[in-house]
Amino acid sequence: MAFEFTDANFKEEVMDTEGVAVIDFWAEWCGPCRVIAPVIEELSHEYDGKVKIGKLNVDFNPEVSFKFNIRSIPTILILKNGEVVDRHVGTTTKKVLADKIEAQL
């Protein structure tokens, strides 16, 4: 299951951790977010132990959303060692996201 990032755990789980993290910024009311949710879930299983993949609900976690200037959802950020290395706004395919993840490993 995809990890649940929050304002409370983001610094510890992403910013202070080495390695690659993929964060799906989403909201319950967002149709495109529901379309990409199964892709995020599949990737979280496939990269388990190699990449921390999870979701951050923008409605309940405004601090992190503001910090990364999230204006449209879904937005997917890929961070490596706490730095943003890639950003994708909108829906996409599993292959596109997997290729972006592989480029950081």
pLDDT tens digits, residue range 21-34?
999 999 999 999 99
Q: Contacts for 95-101 with beta carbons within 8 Å, 24 or more apart?
A: 97/22, 97/39, 97/43, 98/43, 98/46, 101/20, 101/22, 101/43, 101/47, 101/51
Active-site residue, from 14, 21, 30, 76: 30
Verify whether residue 10 is a known catalytic residue: no
Question: In the structure, what pLDDT confidence band is assigned to residue 36 with cuts at 50, 70 and 90?
Answer: very high
Active-site residue, from 14, 20, 22, 33: 33
What are the chain's domains?
Answer: 3-104 (3.40.30.10)
Verify whether residue 33 is a known catalytic residue: yes
Q: Partners of 54 in the beta sheet?
A: 3, 23
pLDDT of residue 39 exceeding 90, the answer is: yes
- Say which amino acid occupies 56: L
